Amino acid sequence: MQALKSITMIVLALGIAAPVFAEPPDEDVNAAYQNGDYATALRLLRPLADQGNPGAQHNLGLMYSHGQGVPQDYAEAMKWFRKAADQGYADAENNLGYMYAIGQGVTKDYVQSYMWFNLAAAAGDQVATKNREIIATLMTPAQIAEAQKLTRERKPTK
């Protein structure tokens, strides 16, 4: 059983571990990032992220998560992903699910992981849908029910 859990987590990790700069808020930021000029990308992203741009916040989280232009800092990555996720940014929700699943920057928590994957999946994120299915295999029915309850409580009403 433990081997199955380990294999499942490796598959989950491979599903979203690679850094993907999402919807760059600015062409200059994207060009700098794609060229490996992380210092310039960071300089351009930080003000946008501080102003509340969820794409910039997500991308800043990626840079901290992968140590690109900044020291690798999972807690700081979590902070920026959370700011973007709090605005309904699906890529950030998916990344939070991943970080909770493996305990990166936070204590491992499958209920929180499932909730974040569920929110991203509801927004149409196919990777999050697969990740939610994987994490569910590691959970009890009671944990899944709790995660679904948290999802309903968190989801904004229209």
pLDDT of residue 25: 61
CB count, 10 Å around CB of 36?
A: 11
Mean pLDDT of the chain: 85
Q: Is the pLDDT of residue 89 over 90?
A: yes
Would you say 48 and 80 are in contact if contact means Cβ atoms under 8 Å apart?
Answer: no
Q: Is the pLDDT of residue 66 over 80?
A: yes
Percent of the chain at pLDDT > 90 equals: 70
Express each pLDDT in 6-20 by its tens digit. Answer: 545 544 544 444 445
pLDDT of residue 33: 86
Which of the four pLDDT bands, split at 50, 70 and 90, describes residue 70?
very high
Radius of gyration of the CA atoms of the chain, in A: 16
Express each pLDDT in 103-140 by its tens digit. Answer: 989 999 999 999 999 999 999 999 999 999 999 999 99
Spell out the domains of the chain, with CATH numbers in brackets.
Answer: 2-154 (1.25.40.10)
Distance separating alpha carbons of residues 117 and 88, to the nearest angstrom: 12
Q: Which residue has the higher pLDDT, 8 or 40?
A: 40
b or e along 11-33 (b: 16 or more beta carbons within 10 Å of the residue's beta carbon)? ebeeebeeeebbebbeeebbebb
Please choose, from the candidates 83, 64, 82, the residue with its C-alpha nearest in 3D space to the C-alpha of residue 19: 64
Q: Is the pLDDT of residue 21 over 90?
A: no
Please give the structure tokens belonging to residue 25.
Answer: 């808020």
Enumerate residues 6+ apart whose C-beta is below 8 A from 52: 83, 87
Q: The pTM is what?
A: 0.85
